[in-house]
Every structure is written in structure tokens, then in C-alpha cells.
Amino acid sequence: MSIIILYIIVPVLLFICSIYDLKKGEIENYWSYILGAVGIIYSIFVNQFKSNFCAALIIFIALYSVYIFSALIGKYGLGGADVRILTALALSIGYNILSIIIISSVLNIIYILFKSLFTRQKLNSICTKYVPFILVGYTITLFLINK
């Protein structure tokens, strides 16, 4: 059951969220709630709820602070859906969420650098959709932690 959740249900939900992010630029709240509910069910099933909940709480506080700070200074940063999705993922994979954040951020930076190089756009004017990078980071992290 736990393998089905981590390797099928969560990636499918992230893929759906990625499609919404790419097409509409926003993700409905209920997708984050579904992902969070799946994370809670999984963490209860594998008896890691307390640890994963603490990880999710820490991630939420840290990322929401970045989100608010970005909004206050008027710069591009994390969106609200990015914060919700990463928090929901932390409910299922706990502190391994840090790997996802690092991997997805590095991939996003590489993408921005290449886009700037080939389109001659200024670095600070490039806005990307982050959820597809979260999906790739999640997939890579799954394979790294289960070797």
C-alpha cells in the first residue's frame, strides 16, 4: 500500500498540479488538500505521523516566510500553491522534503540561466512555474532514498 501511495498516487497528483501550473499559472487549493490528505494517510500507515507533521510544520513556516517576504518586496518568488504543495509533500516524506527543495531549486536555477542565455532576457525578469520542478525533484528524491 505504501509503495502505491509514494510511487503512483503522489506523482500522479503532482503531475496534475504541474499541468495546472503550466496552463493556468495557478493551482486550485483542493489539489493541495488532496495531496496533504494522502500524505497524512501514508504517514499514519507507516507510523511516522509525528515526525512528518513536524517536518511539514517547519517547512510551512520557513516557506511561508519566504512567500510573504517576496510579496512584500515585490519580487518573484514562491507562490502560495508552491508552499502548500511542498508542505503537503512533507506530510508523506518527512524531512526528505529538503532534498526535493534543493533538487527542484537547482533545476529551476539551471533552467532560468539557460533561458536567460538563449532568449537574452534579464535574469530578474524570468518567471518560471515551480511545480514541474517539484515533480522532477520528488522523482529523483524517491530514487535516491530508496537505493
* Confidence at residue 119, expressed as pLDDT on a 0 to 100 scale: 87
- The mean pLDDT of 140-146, rounded to a whole number, is 90
Domain count, the chain: 1
In which domain, by residue range, is 79 found? 2-145
Residue 17 near residue 81, CB atoms below 8 Å: yes
pTM, rounded to two decimals:
0.93
The predicted-structure confidence for 35-59, as pLDDT tens digits, reads as follows: 999 999 999 999 999 999 999 999 9
In sequence order, which ranges of the chain are alpha helices (DSSP H)?
2-4, 10-24, 29-45, 49-73, 80-93, 97-119, 131-145
- Residues in Cβ contact with 53 at an 8 Å cutoff, skipping those fewer than 6 apart: 43, 91
